[in-house]
Structure 1
């Protein structure tokens, strides 16, 4: 009997050990592969209480991963360097400690700082630290001013992403092409400070198929705006309002809209306000949509390898035009048969 049981017991013991190894291997696999990565730690610097900024931050908070750390730091009046609240000191120390052990982290759970608006962006680039940084809700001109005045943004030892709040000029010209396929002349009145925008528009006009015939006149002050419009309007099939000092001024924008209406020319821009005031159409992205794009940009910046010099230059993205707004009343007054807003939005989504 013993001679019969001995081999059987040996096989049983080996089977038990094998099952144990399987369970142990499964447990290790569940730790290494099945467990989700820890949620991201996001610090948001807020430089103003504007409705757009508040909507942006609310969307960021709503999209935060369960269990993720979300810290909102408001700038003091006057744009002074933000100081986190006392109870956040431990969190900040933990984030700094995480930088020392970032080789054990994944890109998805690395600490990230996001600055909302120009005042917060200026404070953020001057803060010490090397965690990835995203500057959001900036106009192109605000970013150019920050880049020229802040050496810290150009030092190249920190990964930085910049999300502009306006669509690229190529997208805006694509909208005008979709609305006016038989036209090719567009007029713009700009200010001397608008030169970066004008250069971008000129590149987009030359690269369009077919190219746009672009006429630009400059208005250094309000008094010269009317004269610049008199030069531009007769040589244009449409007018564009840039997101510059003219686009930011209600009085100046209304002057462009009145000039366009008097000549029977459609006016395009990059804001819903322009459309409501009498512009024909605009490609826009809401603050909530910009917040979602900013998160994706943050992931790109966090996963990018560190470099030196120009290889670590800021990654700049224009707003992806999420929707097109059309003023149907203006379209009827101009005798235009417009595609639906959704169709125009889909056309802008086509890669170029």
Structure 2
């Protein structure tokens, strides 16, 4: 009897060709798993201190935990805890991989400082916020809130097929998406009339100039045009003129827009988790990703007041999904 507790005969049986191959396979798989775990990067999440950012971070941590791998080492910090996040980064062993996640535009700069040259994945940010970031933006892989223009137009044509004239209030941050909108709209036989603003106080005057030339107002993300000071006068002016507003956020919809196309914190978090799982050695995601997952919303009370007969939300959602 061997000291290990098995007999010599049993030991000989254990090294028969078939059993030996199985043993080698088991050891190989175990070593592969260990190596994979060792290669998983550390994830440091730096987020804004707001309910949407906190919710997105919580969903992201849950998604990473379900996926395993990088989820085992993910940590979350508020931007006020930047020094703690930097200390956590300095505490990593030499050669350890790490990814810094910035949630919200105000987290971009702190995340860049914490990352110290390591990869950054930004989420819950707009294209405008990335443009404003300046030097270093090329190191950031972002999942932006801006919906793709073809998807926006699909919604317009599915929800309001009689609307042929689209109105847009534009500011410095929305000129690029406006140009894309004009190009795609022309391909569909739609016209776009735009009024370019230089100050938030111009919103009512700009709308009054647009009203005779539009069947609906399409809101494009731009902090100069759409902010807490302009939303109510904008919605009131368009409502009085009988013009529905198609917007990009759930809060805007609740405030009085007729139709909205947006991505929820849960949807943004899921796409962010999928991007993080693309470890740098496996190829990081494209520099800019538009939302993969999206939600259609309808304000039935506003639509009814405007005399609009809109398809059910489920029908609109299914229609847009089929066109992706």
TM-score class, shorter:
0.7 to 0.9
Once the two structures are TM-superposed, the CA of residue 251 in structure 1 deviates from its matched residue by: 3.5
Structure 1 position 128, deviation (Å)? 5.4
Spell out the pairing of 1:213-224 with structure 2 (5 A cutoff).
213-224=191-202
Match in the other structure for 1:97: 95
> Highest CA radius of gyration, 1 or 2?
1
CA–CA distance in structure 1, aligned partners of residues 225 and 317 of structure 2: 22
Instruction: List aligned pairs for 1:39-54, cutoff 5 A.
Output: 41-46=42-47, 48-54=48-54
The alignment partner of 1:115 has SS state of strand
Tell whether 2:72 aligns with 1:71: no
Are 2:114 and 1:121 aligned?
Answer: no
Whether 1:264 and 2:242 are equivalent positions in the alignment is yes
Q: Which residues in structure 2 correspond to 1:179-328 (within 5 Å)?
A: 179-207=159-187, 210-246=188-224, 248-300=226-278, 302-303=280-281, 305=283, 315-328=287-300
Correspondence for 1:330: 302
Alignment-derived partner of residue 9 in structure 1: none
Partners of 2:151 and 2:16 in 1: CA distance: 62
Counterparts of 2:201 and 2:64 in 1: how far apart (Å)?
Answer: 49
Aligned pairs, number: 309
Deviation at 1:269, TM superposition (A): 0.4
Which sections of structure 1, spanning at least 5 residues, go unmatched? 1-11, 100-110, 307-311
Q: Which residue number in structure 1 is paired with residue 29 of structure 2? A: 30
Between the aligned partners of 1:320 and 1:16, the Cα distance in structure 2 is 52
Counterpart of 1:152? 136
Superposition TM-score, scaled by structure 1 size: 0.77
Superposed CA deviations along residues 137-164 of structure 1, whole A, max 9, x for unmatched, are 1122111111xx2x2233xxx5x31111
Task: State the TM-score, normalized to the length of structure 2.
Answer: 0.83
Alpha-carbon contact 1:132-1:301 (below 8 Å) kept: no
Report the Cα offset of residue 270 of structure 1: 0.6
- 1:1-40 to structure 2, matched below 5 A, reads 17-18=15-16, 20-31=19-30, 37-38=36-37
Residues 45 and 75 in structure 2, CA contact (< 8 A), matched pair in contact too: yes
What residue number does 2:5 align with? none
Question: Hey, what's the Cα distance between the residues in 2 that align with 1:189 and 1:59?
Answer: 33
- How far is 1:188 from its partner? 1.1
Q: Cα RMSD over matched residues?
A: 3.0
Query: Structure 2: how far apart are the matches of 1:316 and 1:343?
Result: 29
